[in-house]
Every structure is written in structure tokens, then in C-alpha cells.
């Protein structure tokens, strides 16, 4: 079967044990440092599973910023795009929809929500993880594309501190740009995860909406996402570009 086990926050691996994307970790330091992705990781985020209590939902992430103590500033200067478009093949999606429990697996069986056109696990540029004191500064341009995408996540991790290492400040600061303007693009045959851009008032109906199922850990149920239409003038010129995805 073309599916990973979904083991407690692990990377997704296919039937040949290959990862999708390039996982990266940067370590919290006492000193300020530049965080530079390798060429293999640039615009190639890792596909990973969330923890089992969230349903082993899939998401994309570029890097973890981790390490208990430190306090210096990790400066991420790069321009990257993070999207929630599902990169799995149909065979891999079907394996997620029908996966059965086995020794060493976690999370529910039949992860149908991992077989949709969009990932629902909360794709992001980076996660600050297991940090007692640390600072992450985003200096470049971050393009957010698709539903259920965020720039950065800070995990709570307040159980990491000790008497000798008391809880300090954990901070993610944006001094660059975080934008969804890139969603105006993605107008090829596949659109944006299958969602196309129509023209307001046009009789031509395009596939620009989808219902996404959520895991129980995410509250269950479903959300409806839709891509906005272009607004044009009487001559057919676009006055307000569409393409944006919202709930």
C-alpha cells in the first residue's frame, strides 16, 4: 500500500519508503543566526502527519525550530510559498482512505480526510517546538496558498522548563511580508487544488468550491471552501482579480 503509518508526528513515506519534500530542523542557539534552507528544501516542504490525537492529519511544513534553551534570534530571510494542495497520487490517497490498524500504528482507521484535494492538518512554514526560550524572526515574503494554511505555529511546551531553566519568552515575529496574493495565480488546467477562477455574473459554471471533511481531533464535521471570481468591466477587462480561497 502507498501509505505511511501516521506515527506520532512522523514524515509521510510512500510504499518505497521515500519521503515527500525535505524535512529540516534548526536548533535554538544562544547566538543570533541565519536560518538557510538547503537547495533541496527550498520550495519543497516536508509532508508530515500530525499527532494521533489530532487524527494523523497530513500537512506541509518547511522546518522545525527546536531546542530547549537558547534565547538568540533565528532569522529566516527566505521567500517561500506554503500551500495545502494534496501532493499524493490517487493510489496514495486511496491507501489513506482505507488504511487499517496494525501494531505500531496510531490514529483512527480510514483517514478519508487525508485523501481530499487539500490537506487539513494546518500547513505552515515552521513550528517552534520544545523551546523554553527562543525567538524566530520572519524577514522574507511568505506566500500562503489554499485553505487551512498559516505562516508559523508556536507549540505550548510549557512543561519543558525546569528549576535551572525557567520558562522564558517564545516569540515569532514577522518583519517581512505574509500574503495570499499568490492565490491570484494557479490558473492552469489543475487550477488551485482543482478549484478554478470564474467570472462574476458569467453563465459559465466552473468548479470553484469544495467541502472538506475534518478529523475528530480537529472538531469533526466539514468546512466549505470557495475560490473567488474575477470581477470584470463591460469590456471584459479584469478590474478586481479573483482566485482567493476562503471559508
Give the model's pLDDT for residue 177: 98
* Helix/strand/coil for 91: helix
Burial, 214: exposed, middle or buried (Cβ in 10 Å; 0-12, 13-18, 19+)?
Answer: middle
pLDDT digits (tens, 9 = 90+) for 85-117: 999 999 999 989 887 654 344 444 678 999 999
The three-point CA angle 61-65-67 to 5° equals 145
Phi then psi for residue 182, to 5 deg, are -60, -20
Neighbours of 4 (CB within 10 A): 26
| Sign of the alpha-carbon dihedral angle for 111, 115, 116, 120 | positive
Residues 6+ apart with CB under 8 A from 102: 5
pLDDT digits (tens, 9 = 90+) for 148-191: 999 999 987 666 666 667 778 889 999 999 999 999 999 999 99
Give the helix ranges, DSSP H, for 110-191. Answer: none
Amino acid at each position: 500500500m502507498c501509505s505511511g503509518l501516521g506515527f506520532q508526528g512522523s514524515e509521510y513515506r510512500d510504499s518505497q519508503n521515500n519521503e515527500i519534500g525535505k524535512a529540516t530542523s534548526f536548533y535554538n542557539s544562544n547566538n543570533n543566526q541565519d536560518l538557510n534552507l538547503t537547495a533541496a528544501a527550498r520550495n519543497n516542504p516536508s509532508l508530515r502527519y500530525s499527532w494521533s490525537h489530532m487524527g494523523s492529519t497530513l500537512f506541509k511544513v518547511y522546518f522545525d525550530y527546536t531546542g530547549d534553551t537558547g534565547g538568540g534570534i533565528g532569522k529566516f530571510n527566505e521567500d517561500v510559498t506554503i500551500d495545502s494542495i494534496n501532493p499524493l497520487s490517487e493510489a496514495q490517497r486511496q491507501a489513506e482512505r482505507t488504511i487499517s490498524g496494525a501494531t505500531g500504528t496510531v490514529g483512527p482507521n480510514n483517514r478519508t480526510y487525508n485523501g481530499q484535494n487539500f490537506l487539513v492538518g494546518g500547513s505552515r512554514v515552521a513550528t517552534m517546538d520544545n523551546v523554553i526560550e527562543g525567538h524566530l524572526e520572519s524577514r522574507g515574503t511568505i506566500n500562503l496558498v489554499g485553505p487551512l494554511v498559516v505562516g508559523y505555529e508556536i507549540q505550548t511546551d510549557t512543561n519543558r522548563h525546569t528549576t535551572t531553566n525557567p520558562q522564558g519568552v517564545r516569540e515569532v515575529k514577522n518583519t517581512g511580508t505574509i500574503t495570499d496574493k499568490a492565490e491570484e495565480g494557479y490558473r492552469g488546467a489543475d487550477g488551485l487544488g482543482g478549484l478554478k477562477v470564474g467570472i462574476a455574473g458569467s453563465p459559465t459554471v466552473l468548479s470553484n468550491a469544495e467541502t472538506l471533511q475534518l478529523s475528530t481531533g480537529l472538531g469533526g464535521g466539514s468546512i466549505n471552501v470557495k475560490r473567488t471570481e474575477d470581477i470584470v468591466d463591460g469590456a471584459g477587462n479584469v478590474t478586481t482579480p479573483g482566485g482567493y480561497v476562503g471559508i
